[in-house]
A and B are shown apart, each in its own frame.
Chain A
C-alpha cells in the first residue's frame, strides 16, 4: 500500500506545495515563449509533475503523480477508482474465500524491456523485494509463494487480507536480475506501456519515454511518446500549460480561473475530506472527548456551507461523512447529521458537564492549508470554551510526532479513498495509523470481522454499518470535500480519473 507517499511528499515538499498553492498563478501571458510547436495528434503526451520522482527503485515509487512509474512498469492487476481489480500482467486471477491467497495467471508472451520474459519468478522476486524494502513492508509480512510454472503464481498471506486486491495492484513487477544487481535505483526494467528513453532524459527535470508497441494493452495508450517534466513552481506550470509546452498538470484553486479563461480544460477530483479527527473516544487523555455529546457538539459548530464559500472560494462541497462518494462505505442521501447550531452545541456541552470547555493542542504543519483554516476552527471551538493551542510541527519528526498519539485531536485535510476498506483500515480501526490513540472498539471490530470473512454484499453492508456507527459516535468532524484540479489541453481527453486516491489521473486515463 502506497498510501503513505502522497502525504509524505506533501510534507517533504511542504514549502513547495505551500508556495505553489499560494504564490502560483501567472497573471500574465508570457507570450509564446518557445512554445507553439505544431503537434500532430496522439504524437507526444507531455505532462508536468510538481515534484521529482525518487529514482527507479520499484519499492519507492509514488502513486501521486506516478506517471513515470506507470509508464515503465506493469503490475499484476490494476486497481480502478474504487480499488476493484482490472487485468494487467494477470489476465485471469482468483482470490480464496478466506482472503489469504491471490492466484494469478500471467499473460502469455509478455517481455520486460531487457528482453526477458515476464514470469512467475519475476513476480515472486518483486513481491519478496517489496516485503523487505520501502515503507509498506508490513503489508507483505510473511507472504509465501507457490509457482507451479512460469505462467502461474499464488501469493499467500498468513492472515486474511480484506484489501488483497490493493496489496496486489501496487507492486511494480520487475526482474530478479535488476533487483539483485544493487543498481535498482538507476534504471527501470519493466514490461510497461512505455520504455525509458535515456537519451532524452535528464534526471531531476525531464523523463522521456517511447511507446512499447509490444505491450499487451498498447491500443489503450495512444501516444507514441511520453514526456514527464518536473516543474516545481505553479506559475511555471500554468505558463507551460498556456504555451502548450505541457499537455497537463495539477493546479491549485488559485490558478483555476486563469486556466479556464485560457481555454484549457480542468478535471475535478474530490479525493480529500477536511476533518477533525477526534480519536480519544474513551477520554483517556482528554476526558471530555470520552463523552459522545462533546464530540457531537464539536460537530455542530462548523458552518460547512460558509467554509466552502469563503475559505475554499466555492471550490468544494460540504461533507458530512468521511468516505468517498460512491465508495462502499458511503451512505447515499445522508442528511447533515449535525447541522450548524452553536446554541444547541453549547447546550450539549452543558448537558455533558463541560460547559467550561477544555484545553486542546492542535498540531499544524506547513502545506496543509492550516494557515487558512485553523483560525476559523480555533475560533469556532472557542465558542464551546475549547481553547486551542496550535503546535507547529516541522522537520523530520513532524510526521512521527503527528502520528505518535501525543495529539488525540488533529485537524487535517485527509485523503479519502475509492477503496473505502482502506480508509477504514487506516483511519477507523484501532490499528490504523491515523487512529492516533489506537483505542479498541468492539463495534468496529465486530463489523471488521464481517468484512474479513464475508462476501461482497456482506462487506459492503458492514462498511456502511461502520460508517453509521462513527457518524453516530462522532469520531470525526468532517467539514468539506475540497476540489482538486487537473488542468489539461483540450487536445487531450481525460474522461475519468482511475486513481483510487482521486488525486491525479492515471496514465491510462489520458486518451
Chain B
C-alpha cells in the first residue's frame, strides 16, 4: 500500500514537471515584447534591452525554467512582470475565490448526485427515465450558457440576485453568498447531471452483482441491501466520479468566472496569458496541477482505504 502511494507520488511529480515545463516553453521567447509592454509606449530600444536583462528574459529556456523551478521549490513564484505583485500574493486572493466555488459545487454535487443517482438506479421506472432525460439535458448544455441564462433570468428579468461580481466574505457574508449563488448553480447543473448519471451506472452495476442477489436471498431487507451493501460497494467508483468532477469543475470555473466577473484563478490565468505575464501564467498552471494531483492522490488514498483488497495487501 505504501509502495503504491509512493509510486503515485513520484508519478505526480513527473506530471508536475512535464506540464510546467510545457507551459513554460509555450510562453517562452518573447523577452523584448514583454519588456516593451512593461515599459510602455515611450520606451527606447536601449531601455527595452535593459528591461529584458532585468527581467532575466535574455537567458536560455532551460536556465529560465530552472530559475523558476528553483524559486518555486522555495515557495517563491516570482512577481508579475507588469504589476510587480508577487504571484503568491495574487494567488492568495484569487485561489480562494475559485476554490470556494469549486468546493461548494463539489459538495452539493456529491450530495445531490448520490441522492439522484441512487434513486434513479433503485427506483427505476419513470423516476429513472425523467432523471436520465434531465441528466442528458444538464450534461449537454455548457455551464457558461447555463450561467448566461441564469444571469438573464435572475439578475435581469427578475432582478433578485446580483448579476456579476464578487463580494469577499470578510466584507459581507450575505453579500458573498449572494455573489456565489448563481455561479455555483451554473456549475452545479452540469456537474450534478453528469455525476448523477455516473452514480446511477455505478449503483446499477453493483446491483447486478451476484452477491447482491445472495444477500437478498438471505432475507436481508431491501433497505439494508441498498444502504449497507450496495452503497458501500459503489463508493469506490463514486469517488472516481467525484475526482473527475473536480477536474471538470476547475475547467468550468474559468468560464463561469468570466460570465460573473469573479476575480478567481481562471480570470487571472486568462488575463495573464493574454499579456504574456509568464510568472502569473505559471503560477496559475502550477496551482491548478497541484490541485488536480492532490485530488488524484486523495482519491487513490480513499480508494485504497475503501478497498479491502488493496488495504490488506
Residues of chain A having any CB pair with chain B under 8 Å: 1, 3-5, 7-8, 11-16, 19-20, 23-28, 30-31, 33-35, 52-55, 57, 60, 134-139, 185, 203-205, 232-237, 239, 245, 366, 394-400, 403, 433-434
- Select A12's contact among B89, B166, B262, B275, beta carbons within 8 Å: B275
Contacts of A434 in B (CB 8 A): 41
- Select B85's contact among A5, A26, A203, beta carbons within 8 Å: A203
Find out whether the CB atom of A399 lies under 8 angstroms from the CB atom of B166: no
A394-B274, A396-B30 given; 16 more Cβ-contact pairs under 8 Å? A5-B40, A12-B82, A23-B164, A33-B172, A34-B175, A57-B84, A135-B47, A138-B47, A203-B89, A235-B164, A236-B261, A395-B275, A396-B33, A397-B33, A397-B276, A434-B41
B127 smallest CB distance to A (angstroms): 36
Contact (A3, B41) CB under 8 Å given A15-B270, A16-B271: yes
A37 smallest CB distance to B (angstroms): 12
Q: Which residue of chain B has the shortest Cβ distance to A31 in the bound complex?
A: B174
Find out whether the CB atom of B164 lies under 8 angstroms from the CB atom of A11: no
Distance A394 CA – B277 CA, assembled complex (angstroms): 12
Find out whether the CB atom of B84 lies under 8 angstroms from the CB atom of A185: yes
Q: Which residue of chain B has the shortest Cβ distance to A232 in the bound complex?
A: B263
Find out whether the CB atom of A233 lies under 8 angstroms from the CB atom of B165: yes
- Select B37's contact among A12, A34, A35, A134, beta carbons within 8 Å: A12
Distance A235 CA – B262 CA, assembled complex (angstroms): 10
Contacts of A30 in B (CB 8 A): 162, 167, 175, 178-179
Distance A11 CA – B39 CA, assembled complex (angstroms): 13
Binds A, one of B66-74, B152-160, B239-247, B302-310: B152-160
Contacts of A403 in B (CB 8 A): 41
Residues of chain B having any CB pair with chain A under 8 Å: 30, 32-34, 36-44, 47, 82-85, 89-90, 93, 155-156, 159-168, 171-172, 174-175, 178-179, 258-259, 261-263, 267, 270-271, 274-276
Contacts of A23 in B (CB 8 A): 163-164, 259, 261
Distance A24 CA – B259 CA, assembled complex (angstroms): 10
Distance A20 CA – B167 CA, assembled complex (angstroms): 15
Q: Which residue of chain A has the shortest Cβ distance to B32 in the bound complex?
A: A400
B83 smallest CB distance to A (angstroms): 5
Find out whether the CB atom of A7 lies under 8 angstroms from the CB atom of B41: yes
Q: Binding site of B, secondary structure by majority: helix, strand, loop or mixed? A: loop
Contacts of B259 in A (CB 8 A): 23
Find out whether the CB atom of A26 lies under 8 angstroms from the CB atom of B164: yes
Contacts of A33 in B (CB 8 A): 167, 171-172, 174-175, 178
Contacts of A397 in B (CB 8 A): 30, 33, 36-37, 276
Find out whether the CB atom of A135 lies under 8 angstroms from the CB atom of B258: no
Distance A20 CA – B162 CA, assembled complex (angstroms): 15
Distance A7 CA – B36 CA, assembled complex (angstroms): 13
Contacts of B33 in A (CB 8 A): 395-397, 400
Find out whether the CB atom of A25 lies under 8 angstroms from the CB atom of B163: yes
Contacts of A54 in B (CB 8 A): 82-85
Q: Which residue of chain A has the shortest Cβ distance to B31 in the bound complex?
A: A396
Contacts of B84 in A (CB 8 A): 54-55, 57, 60, 185
Q: Which residue of chain A has the shortest Cβ distance to B48 in the bound complex?
A: A400
> Which of A14, A35, A52, A403: most chain B Cβ within 10 A?
A52
> Which of B30, B32, B261: most chain A Cβ within 10 A?
B261
Distance A33 CA – B274 CA, assembled complex (angstroms): 34
Contacts of B38 in A (CB 8 A): 135
Contacts of B36 in A (CB 8 A): 396-397, 399-400
Distance A135 CA – B171 CA, assembled complex (angstroms): 37
Contacts of A11 in B (CB 8 A): 37, 275
Q: Can you list 27 A-B pairs with a CB-CB distance of less than 8 A?
A: A4-B43, A11-B37, A12-B83, A12-B275, A23-B164, A24-B164, A26-B155, A27-B155, A27-B163, A28-B159, A30-B167, A31-B174, A33-B174, A54-B84, A57-B84, A137-B44, A138-B43, A138-B44, A185-B84, A234-B164, A235-B162, A235-B261, A236-B165, A237-B165, A239-B162, A366-B274, A399-B41
Contact (A236, B163) CB under 8 Å given A55-B85, A135-B40, A397-B30: no
Find out whether the CB atom of B159 lies under 8 angstroms from the CB atom of A395: no
Find out whether the CB atom of A3 lies under 8 angstroms from the CB atom of B42: yes
Contacts of B172 in A (CB 8 A): 33-35
Contacts of B263 in A (CB 8 A): 232-233
Find out whether the CB atom of A26 lies under 8 angstroms from the CB atom of B162: yes
Contacts of B93 in A (CB 8 A): 204-205
Distance A446 CA – B43 CA, assembled complex (angstroms): 26
Contacts of A366 in B (CB 8 A): 274
Distance A5 CA – B171 CA, assembled complex (angstroms): 31
Find out whether the CB atom of B163 lies under 8 angstroms from the CB atom of A26: yes
Find out whether the CB atom of B155 lies under 8 angstroms from the CB atom of A396: no
- Select B274's contact among A28, A35, A395, beta carbons within 8 Å: A395
Contact (A24, B85) CB under 8 Å given A7-B41, A8-B40: no
Instruction: Identify the 5 closest CB pairs spanning chains A and B, nearest first.
Output: A4-B40, A34-B172, A33-B175, A235-B165, A236-B165
Find out whether the CB atom of B39 lies under 8 angstroms from the CB atom of A135: yes
B186 smallest CB distance to A (angstroms): 14
Find out whether the CB atom of B83 lies under 8 angstroms from the CB atom of A52: yes
- Select A236's contact among B43, B167, B274, B275, beta carbons within 8 Å: B167
Q: Which residue of chain B has the shortest Cβ distance to A134 in the bound complex?
A: B39
B122 smallest CB distance to A (angstroms): 41
Find out whether the CB atom of B161 lies under 8 angstroms from the CB atom of A28: yes
Distance A403 CA – B38 CA, assembled complex (angstroms): 14
B267 smallest CB distance to A (angstroms): 8
Find out whether the CB atom of A137 lies under 8 angstroms from the CB atom of B47: yes
B147 smallest CB distance to A (angstroms): 11
Distance A137 CA – B44 CA, assembled complex (angstroms): 8
Contacts of B83 in A (CB 8 A): 12, 52-55
Distance A14 CA – B164 CA, assembled complex (angstroms): 18
Distance A88 CA – B179 CA, assembled complex (angstroms): 44
Find out whether the CB atom of A19 lies under 8 angstroms from the CB atom of B167: no
Contacts of A34 in B (CB 8 A): 167, 171-172, 174-175
Find out whether the CB atom of B261 lies under 8 angstroms from the CB atom of A14: no
Q: Which residue of chain B has the shortest Cβ distance to A395 in the bound complex?
A: B276
Find out whether the CB atom of A395 lies under 8 angstroms from the CB atom of B258: no
B270 smallest CB distance to A (angstroms): 6
Contacts of B274 in A (CB 8 A): 14-15, 366, 394-395
Distance A437 CA – B275 CA, assembled complex (angstroms): 25
